[in-house]
């Protein structure tokens, strides 16, 4: 089906626009899942990317539904998982979705694979909407969406107007939830396709050059979702996909287990045990955060490229913020992995490389409440970062060795 041709095509494009994330270990820290992977040389990443590209092109050539494509699909997903293990930052939501789809396409017959792809897509809409139904979204990114929409429409919202109307920001996740409900039921699926396409066009406008100027990866993933809504939900199953595999087929059972785990995992994030992106917390504002502050005298010791990410103008305080999110976007082409852990890992790598630990201060904010926009903050000095990281997080927060090798340059 056309949908299975679209997946490798969009994956190639998305990897291309975020290529520094997959090969460069020096401009921004790569943080592996476990510390034992820190010494892995960057050549391994290049070989993995080259192999992934070759496999995706092979899938397109032989046909994504060909029996010969099963092994390449599975190999594609395995390579993506290896890439995730070498750098948590690569676990972008689009890369995660494509890794899951690769396993499903490689293990399940076409009709079963199509059904599971639909359920994965529906779960993304549902959990994404749920992650934004809270006061933190209304007060932060949702308000940014409202201001951007009004600006594009030729209007400007004053702070007083925004304060009075900011609850309209809940319209964004509610419309996403409406698209989910319409797509879920066969009788309303055509309307759901229209609603989903409208939503993604709106997101492209808000997040694009006319609005918040977000990364190409985010914009192109919305283009993929626009395409996916049409190809996956807008057309009935082709005749050659009508047959399903017997329920006892081993490959089908494995694919169903993978699909079920992906759909159920986001429930862990609701109780504080999972990361936002595997839980499809997209454009969510409630997540925990790590902020890095450097003393003004330490800023002069930073390499020139890094000084651009220090905000020395917003206040006269002794400690000024280092914009980790902007550093990620400009050096990798991808947004930073959300939550406290990865931002703390990036801050840890930065202060170690620049020898500014004694002049650094970190502020960790807890996730916001679901009903109230309240957070707890914990502050500690940069020389305690290793101890705090080991105490707080199960996964590794040390960077790959390649990032630290030129620390004296």
Q: Per the domain annotation, does 53 fall within a domain?
A: no
DSSP letter for 374, please: -
Tell whether 259 and 318 lie within a shared domain. Answer: no
Say whether both 311 and 262 belong to one domain.
Answer: no
Structural domain includes residue 68? no
Sign of torsion over alpha carbons 144, 229, 1, 245: positive
Residues 69, 62 contacting (CB under 8 angstroms): yes
Share of the chain above pLDDT 70, in %: 96
Q: Please say which residue of 212, 237, 270 terminates a domain.
A: 270
Whether 238 and 373 map to the same domain: the answer is: no
CB 373 within 8 A of CB 136: yes
pLDDT for the residue numbered 408: 46
Task: Please give the backbone phi and psi of residue 315, each rounded to the nearest 5 degrees, phi first.
Answer: -155, 170
Tell me if 384 is assigned to some domain: yes
Contacts for 12-16: CB closer than 8 Å, 24+ residues apart? 12/53, 12/56, 12/57, 13/220, 14/92, 14/94, 14/95, 14/98, 14/217, 14/220, 14/221, 14/224, 15/49, 15/52, 15/53
User: Do residues 318 and 187 both lie within one domain?
Assistant: no
CA distances to 3, 81, 98 from 74, in Å: 17, 11, 11
Two tokens, residue 9 = 């095509």
Q: For 231-290, give the DSSP string.
A: IIISSPPPGGG-----TT-HHHHHHHHHHHHHHHTHHHHHTT-S-TTTTT-TT-S-S-EE
Shared domain check, 257 and 297: no
Q: What is the DSSP track for 189-219? A: HHHHHHHHHHHHHHHHHHHSTTTT---HHHH
One domain, residues 256 and 296? no
Q: How many CB atoms lie within 10 A of CB 209?
A: 10
Instruction: Answer yes or no: do 225 and 359 share one domain.
Output: no
Asked if residues 296 and 310 have their Cβ atoms less than 8 Å apart, the reply is no
Average the pLDDT over 381-393 and give the result: 95
The end-to-end CA distance of the chain, in Å, is 52
Number of folded domains in the chain? Answer: 2
Contacts by 376-380, CB closer than 8 A, 24 or more apart: none
pTM over 0.75: yes
Q: What is the pLDDT of residue 314?
A: 80
Eight-state DSSP code of residue 78: H
The b-or-e profile of 282-311 (16+ CB within 10 A means b, else e) is: bbbbbbbbbbbbbbeebbeebeeebeebbe
Confidence at residue 270, expressed as pLDDT on a 0 to 100 scale: 81
Considering the domain boundaries, does residue 98 fall inside one?
A: yes
Token pair, residue 16, equals 């291309």
Q: Which domain holds residue 298?
A: 289-404
Structure tokens at 313: 């103008």
Residue 219 pLDDT grade (very low, low, confident, very high; cuts 50, 70, 90)? very high
pLDDT in tens, 48-89: 999 999 999 999 999 988 889 999 999 999 999 999 999 999
Give, in degrees to the nearest 5, the angle at Cα 18 between 16 and 21.
120
Pick from 68-77, 178-187, 314-323: least confident = 314-323
pLDDT digits (tens, 9 = 90+) for 98-150: 999 999 999 999 999 999 999 999 999 999 999 999 999 999 999 999 999 88
Contact at 8 Å (CB) between 261 and 124?
no
Query: 239, 270, 301: which is the final residue of a domain?
Result: 270
Do 236 and 128 sit in the same domain of this protein?
Answer: yes
Question: Is residue 41 included in any domain, yes or no?
Answer: no
Is 248 in the same domain as 388? no
Residue 374 resides in a domain:
yes
pLDDT category at 353 given cuts 50, 70, 90 is very high
Query: Does 238 share its domain with 315?
Result: no
What residue spans of 288-394 are helical by DSSP H? 296-299, 304-307, 324-332, 340-354, 385-392
Assess if residue 333 is contained within a domain: yes
Of the candidates 270, 303, 326, which is a domain's last residue? Answer: 270
Please give the pLDDT value at position 409.
45
Of the pLDDT bands very low, low, confident and very high (cuts 50, 70, 90), residue 248 is low
Residues, the chain, total?
A: 409
Radius of gyration of the CA atoms of the chain, in A: 22
Is residue 309 domain-resident?
A: yes
12 and 126 housed in the same domain: yes
pLDDT value for 25: 84
- φ, ψ of residue 28 to 5 degrees: the values are -145, 140
Task: Indicate if 139 and 169 belong to the same structural domain.
Answer: yes
């Amino acid at each position: 089906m056309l949908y299975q041709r679209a997946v490798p095509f969009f994956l190639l494009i998305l990897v291309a626009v975020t290529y520094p994330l997959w090969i460069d270990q020096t401009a921004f820290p790569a943080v592996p899942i476990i510390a034992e992977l820190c010494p892995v040389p960057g050549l391994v990443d290049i070989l993995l990317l080259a192999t992934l590209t070759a496999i995706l092109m092979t899938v397109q050539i032989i046909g994504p539904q060909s029996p010969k494509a099963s092994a390449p699909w599975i190999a594609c997903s395995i390579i993506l998982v290896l890439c995730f293990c070498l750098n948590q930052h690569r676990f972008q939501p689009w890369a995660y979705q494509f890794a899951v789809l690769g396993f499903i396409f490689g293990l399940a017959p076409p009709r079963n694979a199509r059904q599971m792809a639909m359920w994965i897509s529906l779960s993304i809409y549902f959990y994404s909407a749920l992650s934004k139904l809270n006061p933190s979204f209304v007060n932060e990114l949702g308000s940014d969406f409202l201001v951007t929409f009004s600006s594009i429409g030729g209007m400007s919202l004053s702070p007083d107007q925004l304060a009075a109307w900011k609850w309209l920001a809940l319209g964004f996740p509610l419309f996403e939830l409406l698209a989910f409900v319409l797509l879920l039921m066969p009788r309303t699926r055509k309307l759901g396709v229209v609603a989903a396409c409208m939503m993604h066009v709106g997101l492209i406008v808000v997040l694009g050059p006319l609005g918040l100027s977000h990364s190409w990866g985010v914009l192109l993933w919305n283009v993929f979702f626009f395409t996916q809504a049409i190809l996956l939900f807008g057309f009935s199953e082709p005749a050659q996909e009508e047959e399903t595999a017997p329920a006892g087929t081993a490959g089908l059972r494995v694919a169903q287990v993978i699909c079920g785990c992906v759909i159920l995992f986001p429930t862990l994030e609701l109780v504080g045990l999972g990361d936002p992106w595997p839980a499809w917390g997209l454009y969510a504002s409630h997540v925990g955060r790590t902020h890095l502050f450097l003393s003004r005298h330490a800023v002069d010791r930073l390499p020139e490229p890094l000084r651009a990410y220090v905000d020395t103008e917003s206040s006269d305080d002794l400690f000024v913020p280092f914009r980790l999110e902007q550093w990620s976007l400009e050096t990798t082409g991808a947004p930073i992995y959300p939550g406290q852990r990865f931002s703390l890992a990036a801050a840890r790598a930065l202060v170690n490389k620049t020898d500014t630990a004694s002049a650094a201060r970190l502020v960790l904010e807890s996730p916001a409440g679901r009903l109230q926009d309240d957070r707890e903050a914990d502050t500690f000095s940069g020389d305690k970062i290793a101890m705090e990281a080991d105490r707080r997080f199960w996964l590794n927060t040390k960077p790959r060795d390649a990032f630290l090798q030129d620390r004296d340059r």
